[in-house]
Amino acid sequence: GWKDAINTTIINFNNEKMQITWATRELFPNENVSFLYTFDEGKHKVWKPCTTYLLDQDYNSGCLFKTEGPTLAISIRNSNKSEELFSKQFKSDFYIKPNQPENVTFFWKEDTVTVSCNKPERAASCLRLELQYKSKFDEEWQSRICKCCSVREQGFDPRKCYSFRVRLRRRVPHCNVVNYSSDWEAETFWKNGTLLDSCDDDDVTSQSNTVIVLSCLLAVLLMMLILLILLCKWQRVQMSVLPAIPDPKYLFADLFNDHNGNLQEWLDKNDHVALQTKLEYEEPESITEAESQQEDGKNSDKQGPLEKNVTFSGAAENNDGKAAEIACLIPTSNTTASLAGFHILRNDDMYVML
């Protein structure tokens, strides 16, 4: 009975190769056992010795051989093959481990991805395609299993980078007595339908993009600052070399606002204003001049009579208008001026008021 209790591991690699292993150190310590197998189902079986042994510390712990049929019988014997230590017969098709999926393709549409692979030639109905994925923010893989050989999943965030891997699984218990799956296909990395070398590259790209944007902003700000400084300096140079010319529209605003561009009307009004302003400025001068004459008169009274009042006859007053309008006589320098019998010696700094 203990012979039937020996624990063996049976793997049929895609119905191409068989691998049988056992725990030799626990079951057969210090003994190098022999392994024989046959795919014959009749009474007259032809046993074949193992040609490729698997070793564990120089002891035979397994055998690898070609799959030749659906039914397999194995026998473990002592080193000289005289005594059988363990034997077993089983269906090799119930221990199939499928190969990796071939020609895996990813099709993206918005937040949905469809993964497909080539359909195996044999027993495709016994296979399932398993898709696993996770983002860099997930700690565990998320799994999706569908019939061979296409699986569809949705809800992917276009801003995240995802890792994907796929494999084929054998159906249990309909096709296998052991839950065997193929090895995982090479892991791929995707972001928003774009294949990447790794999700670390996505981080580097994001950092690079951030650095580029910041650099551009700093460059723009620096250029604006330089232009502002140059503009200020140019205004100073322009003001020193080319002084600003006043705009006539501010100096002659009343010409256009009050007189609608009528130059003659504007001149007439400005002449009146100018004359009034002149008179206002001349009156204080006249008062000052009169006060000065009064002071001179007082001084002359003290020193003696030096001046003589001049009286014009009515005939002289009634002469032509030009004589009445004479306001100032300016003789040549160092000359004597005669007026109504008086002789006045004058120089360049003197003038006579009439």
Decide if 254 contacts 248 (C-beta within 8 A).
no
Is 38 within the bounds of a domain?
yes
- Judge if 88 and 110 occupy the same domain: no
pLDDT of 322 > 60? The answer is no
32-44 residue pLDDT tens: 899 999 998 877 8
Q: How many domains does the chain have?
A: 2
Contact 161, 205 (CB under 8 A): no
Segments in the chain forming alpha helices (H): 24-27, 199-241, 248-251, 253-257, 263-303, 314-317, 321-324
Tell me the pTM: 0.54
Distance CA 85, CA 35 (A): 10
Domain boundary residue among 196, 222, 256? 196
Nearest residue to 142 via CA among 128, 130, 159, 150: 130
Residue 117 has pLDDT above 90, yes or no: yes
Least confident of 2-11, 127-136, 178-187, 278-287: 278-287
- The Cα–Cα gap between 234 and 218 comes to 24
| Amino acid at site 224 | M
Q: Which of 78, 97, 116 is the last residue of a domain?
A: 97
Clarify whether residues 70 and 140 are in a common domain.
no
User: What is the tens place of the pLDDT at every residue in 247-297?
Assistant: 655 556 666 677 676 767 777 777 655 555 555 555 554 555 555 555 555
Do 82 and 143 have their domain in common? no
Regarding whether 88 and 32 lie in a shared domain, the answer is yes
What does the alpha-carbon distance between residue 217 and residue 96 come to, in Å, rounded to a whole number? Answer: 62
